[in-house]
């Protein structure tokens, strides 16, 4: 029999603001997700290479490697649904792999709904 933890979906949160990463981590853990955290696109790609991830919550403006560069850098990321969580305006066409674009000023329920739909 599999435990509840074995059945949890893993969400990788990639954002350069430590306080926001922690807050999102707590929100998603309370919603029943297993959480991984990364501070930029390069760290996020490293997590993807090491861990099985079901959904990536990705900021766009970050140092070292921004979210758009991370989307185009590694083909593995194209296989994982991405929910952009950014203060940047949504472009006319979503980048490859991006399933939803949630503005950082939105309600947390909007982010949770986008993750659940991914």
**8 A C-beta contact, residue 9 and residue 55:** yes
Q: Which CATH number fits domain 4-117: 3.30.310.50, 1.10.3720.10, 3.40.50.2300, 3.40.190.10?
A: 3.40.50.2300
Give this prediction's pTM: 0.87
pLDDT (mean) for 50-57: 93
Q: Does residue 1 or residue 44 have the better pLDDT? A: 44
List strand residue ranges (DSSP E) for the chain, in order. 10-14, 34-38, 55-58, 82-86, 98-103
The two three-digit tokens of residue 50, written as one number? 């090491």
SS3 65: coil
pLDDT at 4 over 60: no
* Average pLDDT value for the chain: 86
Whether 115 has a pLDDT exceeding 80, the answer reads yes
d(CA 94, CA 88): 13
pLDDT at 68: 75
What are the residue ranges spanned by the domains of the chain? 4-117
pLDDT in tens, 79-98: 789 999 999 888 787 777 78
Residue 107 burial (10 A CB sphere; 0-12, 13-18, 19+): exposed
């Amino acid at each position: 029999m599999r435990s509840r933890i074995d059945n949890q979906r893993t969400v990788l949160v990639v954002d350069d603001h430590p306080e926001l990463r922690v807050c999102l981590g707590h929100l998603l853990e309370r919603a029943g997700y297993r959480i991984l955290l990364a501070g930029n696109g390069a760290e996020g790609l490293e997590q993807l290479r090491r861990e099985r991830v079901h959904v990536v919550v990705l900021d766009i403006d970050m140092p070292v490697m921004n979210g758009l560069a991370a989307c185009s850098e590694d083909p593995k990321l194209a296989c994982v649904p991405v929910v952009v969580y950014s203060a940047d305006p949504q472009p006319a066409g979503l980048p490859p792999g991006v399933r939803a674009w949630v503005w950082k000023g939105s309600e947390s329920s909007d982010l949770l709904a986008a993750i659940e739909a991914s």
